[in-house]
């Protein structure tokens, strides 16, 4: 069975600082990996995804993530945080059955 | 592109009544739609997978008679919470997987429906 662990339920950074949100997964087959962002009282918006090919994936809003099979990780980064990045971020994994399994989420706070 | 809408965005109902939530893919066809439930400050939990023209597949622990799902067309799935009780209060989110896409690839999410049962 697949699972996702997001280290840190709350991450706080200063505006302009590096954002690093951690995600580790377990999967019995090569996984598809996703990062979603959720703003208050809204649905989820896809930031980026990894399916096959290049392990460094670039997404919207300046975010990127790197698939590291040896570490079973898919950490999300952004070089410079913006106030508008404050939101809840979810890492998710799916296998061949297309069901998404989500991590518990990381709340990102950006301080001025 | 790839917009999913939900209606209503929020609903308040009395205990014992039924509530229907609609999920529509606006600019693509979706053979598969998913229904999730999210409790405050928690992650999304998959409730069921809905396939057009067939019965929904429910996750373990989800009462199929309480959460009725109908996927009548390639752009519409509905979730009906029957005989709602306060413990059913939650944020319900649907997602849709475009037809013809790779299985397990991207799901597009609706904005969610906030259900409050009094």
Distance CA B117, CA A82 (A): 37
Q: What is the pLDDT of residue A110?
A: 97
Selected residue with higher pLDDT from B17 and B42: B17
Q: What is the pLDDT of residue A44?
A: 87
Q: Could you give the C-alpha distances from B43 to A6, A55, B2, B111, in angstroms and in order?
A: 11, 26, 23, 15
Nearest to A23 by CA among A11, A12, A39: A11
Mutate to test the interface with B, among A43, A52, A60 (most CBs of B within 10 A): A43
Locate the chain B residue with the closest alpha carbon to A52.
B105
B43 touches chain A (CB under 8 A): yes
Chain centroid to CA B112: 9
Residue B42 and residue A104: Cβ atoms within 8 Å?
yes
* B19-28: pLDDT as tens digits: 999 999 998 8
Q: What percent of chain A has pLDDT over 70?
A: 98
Distance CA A67, CA A49 (A): 10
Question: What are the structure tokens assigned to A28, written together?
Answer: 């019995």
* B69-107: pLDDT as tens digits: 998 899 999 999 999 999 999 999 999 988 776 555 678
Distance CA B80, CA B33 (A): 15
Q: What is the pLDDT of residue A81?
A: 97
Distance CA A68, CA A85 (A): 24
Question: What are the structure tokens assigned to B24, written together?
Answer: 């529509």
Window 55-74 of B: residues touching A by CB (8 A cutoff) are none
Q: Are A81 and A89 in contact (CB under 8 A)?
A: no
* A41-72: pLDDT as tens digits: 788 899 999 988 899 999 999 999 999 999 99
Question: What are the structure tokens assigned to A7, written together?
Answer: 């280290």
Residue A102 and residue B44: Cβ atoms within 8 Å?
yes
**Average predicted confidence (pLDDT) for chain B:** 90
Q: Is B86 helix (H, G, I), strand (E, B) or coil?
A: helix
Chain A CB contacts of B93 under 8 Å are 43-44
Sign for the CA dihedral angle at B104, B109, B114, B115 comes to negative
**Number of residues assigned to chain B:** 118
Q: What is the pLDDT of residue B101?
A: 62
Average pLDDT over residues B38-62: 89
**Average predicted confidence (pLDDT) for chain A:** 92
Average pLDDT over residues A37-42: 86
Q: What is the pLDDT of residue B19?
A: 97
| pLDDT reading at B62 higher than 60 | yes
| pLDDT reading at A31 higher than 90 | no
**pLDDT band at B42, cuts 50/70/90?**
confident
DSSP letters, chain A, are --EEEEE-SEEEEETTS-EEEEEEEE-SSPPEEEEEEE-TT--EEEEEEE-SS-SEEE-GGG-EEEEEGGGTEEEEEESS--GGG-EEEEEEEE-TT--EEE---EEEEEE-
**pLDDT band at A95, cuts 50/70/90?**
confident
* A70-85: pLDDT as tens digits: 999 999 999 999 999 9
Q: What is the pLDDT of residue B5?
A: 94
């Amino acid at each position: 069975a697949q699972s996702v662990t997001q280290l840190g339920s709350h991450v706080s950074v200063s505006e302009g600082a590096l954002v690093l949100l951690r995600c580790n997964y377990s999967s019995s087959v090569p996984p598809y990996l996703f990062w979603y962002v959720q703003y208050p009282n809204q649905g989820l918006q896809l930031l980026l995804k990894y399916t096959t090919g290049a392990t460094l994936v670039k997404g919207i809003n300046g975010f990127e993530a790197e698939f590291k099979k040896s570490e079973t990780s898919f950490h999300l980064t952004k070089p410079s945080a913006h106030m508008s990045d404050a939101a809840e971020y979810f890492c998710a994994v799916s296998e061949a059955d297309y069901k998404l399994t989500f991590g518990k989420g990381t709340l990102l706070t950006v301080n001025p | 592109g790839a917009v999913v809408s939900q209606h209503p965005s929020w609903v308040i109902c009395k205990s014992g009544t039924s509530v229907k939530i609609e999920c529509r893919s606006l600019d693509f066809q979706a053979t598969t739609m998913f229904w999730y439930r999210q409790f405050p400050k928690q992650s999304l939990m998959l409730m069921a997978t809905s396939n057009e023209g067939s019965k929904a597949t429910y996750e373990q622990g989800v009462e199929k008679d309480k959460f009725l799902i109908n996927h009548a067309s390639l752009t519409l799935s509905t979730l009906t919470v029957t005989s709602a009780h306060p413990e059913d209060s939650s944020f319900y989110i649907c997602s849709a997987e475009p037809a013809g896409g790779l299985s397990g690839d991207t799901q597009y999410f609706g904005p969610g429906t906030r259900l409050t049962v009094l």
